[in-house]
Amino acid sequence: MKTDLLIGNEWRGTAKRYCLTNPATEERLAEVAEAGEAEVDAAVQAARACLDSKAWRELPPRKRGQLLYRIAELLEQRSPEIAEVETKNNGKPLFESKIDVAMAVETFRYYAGWADKLTGDTLPVSGSFFTYTLREPVGVVGAIVPWNFPLNLASWKVAPALAAGCTVVLKPAHETPLTALLLGDIAVAAGLPPGALNVVPGPGATAGAALVRHPLVDKIAFTGSTEVGQWIMREAAATVKRVTLELGGKSPNMIFADADLPAAVRGAQNGIFYGKGEVCAAGSRLLVEQAVHDQVVEQLADRAKKLTPGDPFDKNTRLGTIVSKRQQETILSYIAAGEKEGARLVAGGKPAKVNGKGYYVEATVFDGAKPGMKIVDEEIFGPVLSVLTFADEAEGIQLANRSMYGLAAGIWTKDVQKAHRVARAIKAGTVWVNTYNFYDPAAPFGGYKFSGFGRDLGREALDNYTELKTVWVGL
Ligand code: NAD
């Protein structure tokens, strides 16, 4: 597969290349070209030239939509290969990678349909005027994405940006650039003009920062940690770039005593262990109403103990390997902090290997967690669940909102009034009721508070990739 940079529809090698490791086998996976400042500049120039060219600016919107449909089709055709690459690079079970690719296909299809439906308004102003608004592409978009859903999160930005008529420089995470490069390959095959999509793997501190600082980039669409998001927001001020930030989370998953308990326990398990817990919206704080606490924790601990880490290519595996040794160490340091601060370990807690290799961590559950503990307050980004208890609805809501983050939340109850009441009271961008971790291209996703602002997906994402122009015509 392609491992060079994609700039202006050409594959360019670089003097500097770096090695990727398969986190399940600890073996060398590929050697990838690394973009520095010069290569990022070349990619931005290509995106700019495309934006200003007839090939893009004057392309009828429906034709843009057709190109996006074609990308979706090619992604779908190559989905077995893409899923395999994602699993080798990220360590997630193959069935999860297949879901990721299917979602990326759906995302391209969804935004393909929007390309010719971006309209302005006519405005009922006072006086003798005809006044209307136009939606125009915001320009060159720098899309920066993390390693947990490499292809999927890239599609959440690339598809709406292209649909809106923007051009894109995509910087995948340093650890997981392979499916972004496959997406680039597919975009070229689909017939996207040179420069419409450029892909430049490289470290955040150099390639990412160069994109954020570049004067010809109009907007940064970022998904990643809150810390880097804050830096980007400060840095983007110098060139008054538009910025949208999809950041971290510490999402509460609340089980009320009147819930369907088996379903709630399954939901709690999937909420934290899907994607090895390397999920921004992971339900990493489980809030359980006192009356059902003991049963919930017992059932959950049983389930977690059975969820043994396995080879990501084994069809029975439901817990893959952590993405890197570094991330494994971070997770283990949180587990050590949880034990030190007095939470009670009821499942997991240790690193693991499969066939003697890999950066696995057991499915871990802490009971008796309290606000103020690191495992409760900070995003771990691994398969570690902290269980807290609440006495009643008011205390549950207060605990749920006691976080700097506000990305997502879950509510398990059979009481329909309580469900809607609590959904309103929780400060988060997504609330799942009697379900968890569902996504659809039509449903906007993003954060409150330190989880960021702006929305990926849905019609709303298109607002992030367009400027609004008001035109006054004197009559
Ligand atoms: P990260 O912030 O370290 O990196 C994210 C991306 O930013 C990578 O491509 C990285 O190379 C780049 N980057 C790093 N420093 C940069 C800089 N100075 N300038 C420009 N780019 C830079 O995050 P990560 O560890 O890759 O991913 C995990 C984080 O992502 C978690 O906090 C998680 O919650 C968050 N996340 C959020 C969402 C969401 O939709 N809200 C989705 C997935 C992940």
Contact assessment for residue 396 and residue 289, using Cβ atoms and an 8 Å cutoff: yes
User: Is there a domain that residue 132 lies in?
Assistant: yes
Name every residue whose Cβ is closer than 8 Å to that of residue 15 and which is 6 or more positions away in sequence: none
Name the pTM for this structure: 0.97
Mean pLDDT of successive 10-residue segments in the chain (475 residues)? Answer: 97 97 98 98 98 91 98 98 98 98 98 97 98 97 98 98 98 98 98 98 98 98 98 97 98 98 98 98 98 98 98 97 98 98 98 98 98 98 98 98 98 98 98 98 98 98 97 98
CATH code of residue 433: 3.40.309.10
User: Is there a domain that residue 445 lies in?
Assistant: no
Selected catalytic residue, list 246, 289, 362, 379: 246
202 Cα nearest atom in ligand 1:
11
Answer yes or no: do 99 and 184 share one domain: yes
Answer yes or no: do 241 and 277 share one domain: no
Q: What is the pLDDT of residue 4?
A: 98
CA gap 455, 444 in Å, rounded: 6
* Protein residue with its CA nearest to atom 14 in ligand 1: 204
User: Radius of gyration (Cα) for the chain, nearest Å?
Assistant: 23
Ligand 1 pocket test, pick from 40, 228, 231, 323 with the greatest ligand atom count within 8 Å of Cβ, gives 228
* Protein residue with its CA nearest to atom 18 in ligand 1: 205
* Protein residue with its CA nearest to atom 34 in ligand 1: 248
User: Is there a domain that residue 349 lies in?
Assistant: yes
What counts of helices (H) and strands (E) characterise the chain? 16, 24
Answer yes or no: do 126 and 267 share one domain: no
Beta strands in 23-101 (DSSP E): 27-33
Helix or strand or coil: residue 88?
helix
How far is the CA of 144 from the CAs of 77, 104, 278, 397, in angstroms?
A: 26, 16, 17, 33
Could you tell me the distance, in angstroms and rounded to a whole number, from the CA of residue 147 to the centre of ligand 1?
8
Ligand 1 pocket test, pick from 155, 213, 225 with the greatest ligand atom count within 8 Å of Cβ, gives 225
Which residues pair with residue 169 across a beta bridge?
142, 198
User: Is there a domain that residue 62 lies in?
Assistant: yes
- From 298, 328, 285, select the one nearest 91 (Cα to Cα): 328
452 Cα nearest atom in ligand 1:
41
Could you tell me the distance, in angstroms and rounded to a whole number, from the CA of residue 360 to the centre of ligand 1?
21
Structure-token pair, residue 470: 């008001």
Name every residue whose Cβ is closer than 8 Å to that of residue 394 and which is 6 or more positions away in sequence: none
User: Is there a domain that residue 165 lies in?
Assistant: yes
User: Is there a domain that residue 446 lies in?
Assistant: no
Could you tell me the distance, in angstroms and rounded to a whole number, from the CA of residue 136 to the centre of ligand 1?
28
Q: What is the pLDDT of residue 58?
A: 86
Structure-token pair, residue 458: 């849905």
How far is the CA of 313 from the CAs of 31, 78, 79, in angstroms?
A: 22, 18, 15
Answer yes or no: do 120 and 106 share one domain: yes
User: Is there a domain that residue 301 lies in?
Assistant: yes
User: Is there a domain that residue 171 lies in?
Assistant: yes
Could you tell me the distance, in angstroms and rounded to a whole number, from the CA of residue 225 to the centre of ligand 1?
4
Could you tell me the distance, in angstroms and rounded to a whole number, from the CA of residue 189 to the centre of ligand 1?
29
Active site residue 19: no
DSSP 8-state code for residue 445: B
- Phi/psi for 316 (5° steps) reads -90, -5
* Protein residue with its CA nearest to atom 26 in ligand 1: 146
Answer yes or no: do 324 and 235 share one domain: no
Answer yes or no: do 334 and 191 share one domain: no
Q: Which domain, by its residues, includes 259?
A: 252-440
- How many structural domains is the chain composed of? 2
Name every residue whose Cβ is closer than 8 Å to that of residue 19 and which is 6 or more positions away in sequence: 28, 29, 30, 31, 32
| Averaged confidence pLDDT in the chain | 98
* Protein residue with its CA nearest to atom 40 in ligand 1: 246
* Protein residue with its CA nearest to atom 22 in ligand 1: 204
CATH code of residue 51: 3.40.605.10
Answer yes or no: do 256 and 197 share one domain: no
Which residues pair with residue 224 across a beta bridge?
none
Could you tell me the distance, in angstroms and rounded to a whole number, from the CA of residue 328 to the centre of ligand 1?
17
Ligand 1 pocket test, pick from 100, 219, 223 with the greatest ligand atom count within 8 Å of Cβ, gives 223
Answer yes or no: do 284 and 196 share one domain: no
Answer yes or no: do 172 and 257 share one domain: no
Answer yes or no: do 48 and 101 share one domain: yes
Selected catalytic residue, list 280, 289, 362, 379: 280
Contact assessment for residue 217 and residue 141, using Cβ atoms and an 8 Å cutoff: yes
Answer yes or no: do 115 and 228 share one domain: yes
- Which residues have CB under 6 Å of ligand 1? 144-148, 153, 171, 173-174, 204-205, 208-209, 212, 223-225, 228, 231-232, 246-249, 280, 379, 381, 407, 447, 451-452
How far is the CA of 244 from the CAs of 209, 247, 397, in angstroms?
A: 15, 10, 28
Answer yes or no: do 359 and 231 share one domain: no
Q: What is the pLDDT of residue 57?
A: 83
Could you tell me the distance, in angstroms and rounded to a whole number, from the CA of residue 80 to the centre of ligand 1?
26
Contact assessment for residue 29 and residue 88, using Cβ atoms and an 8 Å cutoff: yes
